Structure 1
Amino acid sequence: MKKLVGILVLSIVASSAAMAQRFAYVDTEYILKHVPEYLAAQKQLDALSVQWQEEVDNRFADIENLYKKYQEDQVLLSEDMRRKREDEIVMKEREAREFQRQKFGFEGDLFQERVKLVQPIQDRVAQAIQTIATDQGLDIVLDKGSEVTFLYANPRLDKSNDVITRLGYKPDPSLADK
């Protein structure tokens, strides 16, 4: 009986050791701060966003001016002229909203630019993470910068600097305000 219990305990310990997985985490926000191409892409996207937002604001300001002018002239206009001016204002407002949706909407121009500029960089980071995980025998790598909540993370498990080095950059301790 003792032999059976001993064998059972030994098999449980062996199976739990075999099931043990090696975890690590990275902070992609921290990593991306070290990639000059990413920072340049962000600047370019910010500039586009500001430019397009100014265009949207100008269009709505023009509509506001048309509306104010319409209100001033309303008593002097015939019914037909009023309807034409109202239709013009409504049409310009639709065009402005469509322009805004085209630039900033789901899968709009800004989204497409972000994909074009940032996706290759994110792919390089993902490849570097995968290579490090394979080289170091890691089973799971989590991203500290995303939706995952860390109540405690041992800094020894942080592989962010390894990824930065793998990408060919030098980790900057001043950016370590993780």
Structure 2
Amino acid sequence: MFYDPREGHGLPHDPFKAIVAPRPIGWISTRREDGAVNLAPYSFFNAISSDPHLVWFSSEGAKDSATIARQSGEFCANLVGRALAERMNETAIDAPRGVNEFELAGLTEAPCRQVSCPRVAEAAAVLECKVVQVLEPDDLEGNPAGVIVVMGQVVGVHIDDAMLKDGLFDITRAQTLSRLGYMDYAAVTETFAMRRPRWGDA
């Protein structure tokens, strides 16, 4: 089949998020100016550069995480492993502003080194980030898409030592969770390696 998303797909549910998958989950923690903290998962999240280390998360609408990150200039991206899936999901609730999602989900706030917002102590890895740019893209017609993209540079990395094997971060130990389409998730339990070919070796 073929369809133009602007004209509808004719399926029971939009397949877009199932096609662009798996996507790592950006479990974003922030701190407001009044000291209140916020924790929420974002399924539009990824790394965009390794030198410097840049990551981004995208908020469909002016939700708390994007708003607070823009104001404070910082955020944390906490890694979600399978063991934290249910608690991550609890933090996705549409709670009233001011509710502490750490407390709601029974999570521990841990201090960061380079940013003032807390991180999830139970997370296998955490990226401390400083905001470098906030984008609000338009659609093809030049109308605001209603999306806020927050880009941050990683200024600190926390890793649970139990997730290291021979000096490498073992994603199968962390069982890193990814967002799929519909209500679906996947945990990484198996990997395989391929070396990139070099023209001179052909």
With normalisation by structure 1, the TM-score equals 0.20
More strand by share: 2
The answer to which structure, 1 or 2, has the higher relative contact order (CA under 8 A, 6+ apart) is: 1
Greater share of helix:
1
Larger radius of gyration: 1
